[in-house]
Amino acid sequence: MKNYFFFKYQLIIILASISLFIYLLGLDFIKFTNYEWLYSGDLSTYHLGWKYFRNDIWRFPIGLNPNYGIYLNTSIIFSDSIPFLAIFFKSIRNFIPIDFQYFSLWILICIYLQLFFSFKIIYKLTNDLTYSLIASLFFCFATIFLHRSAIHLSLLGQWIILSYFYTEVSNNKNKFFIKSLIILFSLTIHFYFTIILTFILILEKFYDLFIKKELIKKTIIEFSILTAVILCLMYLLGYFSLNLDDGLGGGYGYFNLNLNSFFNPSGETNLGSFSWSTFFPIRDYQNGEIEGFSYLGISGIVFFVIFIFNIFQKKYNIIYTNKKLILICTLFFFLSASNNINVGTFNILTIPINNFLYAIMSLIRASGRLIWPVYYLVFIVGIVFIYKSFNKKISLIVILSLFFLQIIDLSKGLGNYKFGKQYLSSEKKTLIKNKIWQGLSDNFTQIRLLEPKNQSKIYQSLSKILSKENFLKTDIIYLARVNRKVITDKKYELIKLFNEKNLDIFEDTLFISDNVNVIKYLQHIYKDQLYYYNVDNLWIISKKIINKNISENLELLKDGYILNLNEKKTVTFRNKDLMPGLGWKLDDNLNGLILDGFQSGILIKIIGEQCNVNSYLKLNIEKYYSNFNDPIKLILFINGKEKKDLIIDRNNKIFSVIFDCIKEKSNSLLFVVDKPKSLYDLKRGLNRSKRSIVLKSISVIN
């Protein structure tokens, strides 16, 4: 009879999961062949990671996904494409539709498992089926859970934290083994879950060793084996396709928890900000602290008060003993708050940390996410405390009342997740309208950036095209981590090849840019050997005609930079519209152009009656690293001819170079630098971009 009732409640959980699934996605988006909702925000890279992974051959390690990134040797891990599902569905790709996506299925799985494990935890602690069923609803309507359903689908797998807590309360005699399996499986979802669960396991073992020191040998053996297996699985999945330092990133102390987060109903989707609460006002927080979003809701706040009361009164041990619970919650609270502790917009304390420690903490750069286990423990303790404090009937009335009160409070926020509303975007991606994009992959195997970069604006514009077309390879990407050195080296390699007029790199390849000045420079080099199309505010460059019905836009490439000698005009580089040629980076703070890499070019069109063979080019140049003592050595080429070696041994210098002034036509200036340095080279940071000089101004003197 008990099994019958348990089965009945499981059926209710399944039906509740399907109902919430339909509410969140609507009837269109739940279809596994509909990927129209996967274009906004980070969602597009999840789908594109899967698409390129599916269409590629099997590689080893099995998670490698080099076609999505080409030269970056990336993996399915860094597109956050839920690796275990990507690998599974790739293994059966011959039996699924060509436009199949598993992300809607993943959302359904997460809703069900969120309900299932929360139900199992509460039932284990109360032995009451009805009470456990009602209590489990709090977890599928948890704000931290629904918040991630709109922006970070892999992070919707928060049920894995609940599965860990269920293992703790279960009667299983080998809990360490089960918890280890859960940690290993978390690697196939998202690394943040691995970090969270590993920290909890370490704290549990640390506490146990403090009580029973004789367990130290066994603990060392267990963790040694677990660490070895974790590293092997990480290698197999492709975590190590990047260097260790590429896994580090800035953001620790920025993407953190604000101390008001439990009580702040300020929510966010791709459409914008909103309030989760019917009763409480939105509170301020600092930029980046949305990662620590963890509004409890009005009933959650009641559970929080109960949670604090139970700790101080030591009335019940729920999941953990009070001391172990305090240890776990305290550490996670301070880790999530980071070294930058804020309440609203007010900074309470900023703790300086050295670069080495900062590098380590960069593994949890979005530290605000580490509040999740504390959030769920608050709910579990509060819910079980109520059951233990009242008789069965009253506790049922109380928990049911609190659930309805919670839904009333959260109803304002839930409306932003109705029938897939959260997957719409306020960004004007419909700007890509021209039919020229359709069918491009029929004639070209690759689509690439003229200026390689992760997370470019061009990616945001073309993500929908990349999804619909079938290019074999692309470096128009948006990845969580990339190989900084390779992406920088590739950028410099392309600049060199362009300046050498190399045509092979355009074979079966489209290049894309949104910088008309770079296109002007390219057109100056290649002349009529390439085709240039301006489409939807983007430039498409190819070696062959892409569409006979669409003409090139050469009229937009006529004018170079103008120095009017009659007016004795000097060009200064303070305006982003004056971003010339290839290989430069505009820096507003330095009021000039930074030479980015080994060579950079500029086009200047000169008008005026005094343009003659006696013209001098006047260059105002500064060192980029003013405190770097070594001299900077440059070679200047004007219109393809080597003109002068320039050596900068002080902070700034003005050079005058005689040249053959070509009136009314573009004059090209190519700067070639010897041994530029990056912050990484100088051991000052992780940035691999090589810098040498800042070009402040150019003028012509007669």
Per-residue pLDDT of 64-114, as tens digits, reads 999 999 998 899 999 999 999 999 999 999 999 999 999 999 999 999 999
Query: Rounded to an integer, what distance in angstroms lies between the CA atom of residue 86 and that of residue 59?
Result: 14
Residues 595 and 673 in one domain: yes
Q: What is the pLDDT of residue 426?
A: 55
Whether 73 is in a domain gets the answer no
Could you say which residues of the chain have pLDDT below 70? Answer: 1-5, 214, 248-249, 425-431, 560, 568, 574-580, 588, 590, 610, 613
Give how far Cα 405 sits from Cα of 261, 396, 402, 411, Å: 20, 14, 5, 10
**H-state helical runs in 187-215:** 191-211
Q: CB under 8 Å to 46, separation ≥6 — which residues? A: 38, 79, 80, 81, 82, 103, 153, 154
Whether 97 is in a domain gets the answer no
Length, in residues, of the chain: 702
The beta strands (E) that lie in 492-557 are given as 509-513, 531-535, 538-542
Domain boundary among 488, 522, 557: 557
In the chain, the number of structural domains is 3
Q: What is the pLDDT of residue 588?
A: 66
User: Residue 666 belongs to a domain with what CATH number?
Assistant: 2.60.120.260
Domain boundary among 514, 540, 557: 557
Whether 82 is in a domain gets the answer no
Residues 532 and 577 in one domain: no
Residues 416 and 438 in one domain: no
Residues 413 and 550 in one domain: no
Helix/strand/coil for 678: coil
Residues 236 and 304 in one domain: yes
Residue 109, φ and ψ in degrees, nearest 5: -60, -45
Whether 67 is in a domain gets the answer no
Query: Rounded to an integer, what distance in angstroms lies between the CA atom of residue 304 and that of residue 378?
Result: 6
Give how far Cα 84 sits from Cα of 77, 87, 154, 238, Å: 10, 5, 11, 12
Whether 88 is in a domain gets the answer no
Residues 598 and 471 in one domain: no
Residues 297 and 393 in one domain: yes
Instruction: Give the number of other Cβ atoms within 10 Å of residue 675's Cβ.
Output: 11
Give how far Cα 181 sits from Cα of 167, 198, 556, Å: 11, 11, 60
Whether 162 is in a domain gets the answer yes
Residue located via tokens 């999804």:
467
Domain boundary among 423, 444, 468: 423
Global pTM value: 0.92
Region of 127 on the Ramachandran plot (φ > 0 left; ψ -120 to 50 alpha; else beta):
left
Residues 393 and 482 in one domain: no
Helix/strand/coil for 638: strand
Whether 84 is in a domain gets the answer no
Contact 695, 621 (CB under 8 A): yes
Helices and strands (H and E) in the chain: how many: 18, 20
Contact 318, 384 (CB under 8 A): yes
Residues 273 and 223 in one domain: yes
Give how far Cα 88 sits from Cα of 82, 96, 111, 183, Å: 10, 12, 20, 19
Contact 59, 45 (CB under 8 A): no
For the stretch 62-69, contacts whose Cβ atoms lie closer than 8 Å and that sit 24 or more positions apart, written own/partner, are 62/87, 62/236, 62/237, 62/238, 63/87, 63/236, 63/237, 63/238, 63/239, 63/241, 64/238, 64/241, 65/238, 67/472, 67/473, 67/474, 68/473, 68/474, 68/477, 69/474, 69/475, 69/477, 69/479, 69/482
Beta bridge partners of residue 657, listed in sequence order: 617
Copy the structure tokens of residue 115: 């309900």
Instruction: Give the number of other Cβ atoms within 10 Å of residue 529's Cβ.
Output: 11
Helix/strand/coil for 682: coil
Residues 485 and 553 in one domain: yes
Residues 456 and 411 in one domain: no
Q: CB under 8 Å to 248, separation ≥6 — which residues? A: 359, 362, 363, 686
Whether 41 is in a domain gets the answer no
Residues 364 and 442 in one domain: no
Copy the structure tokens of residue 505: 């790199």
The range of the structural domain enclosing residue 647 comes to 561-701
Q: What is the pLDDT of residue 428?
A: 47
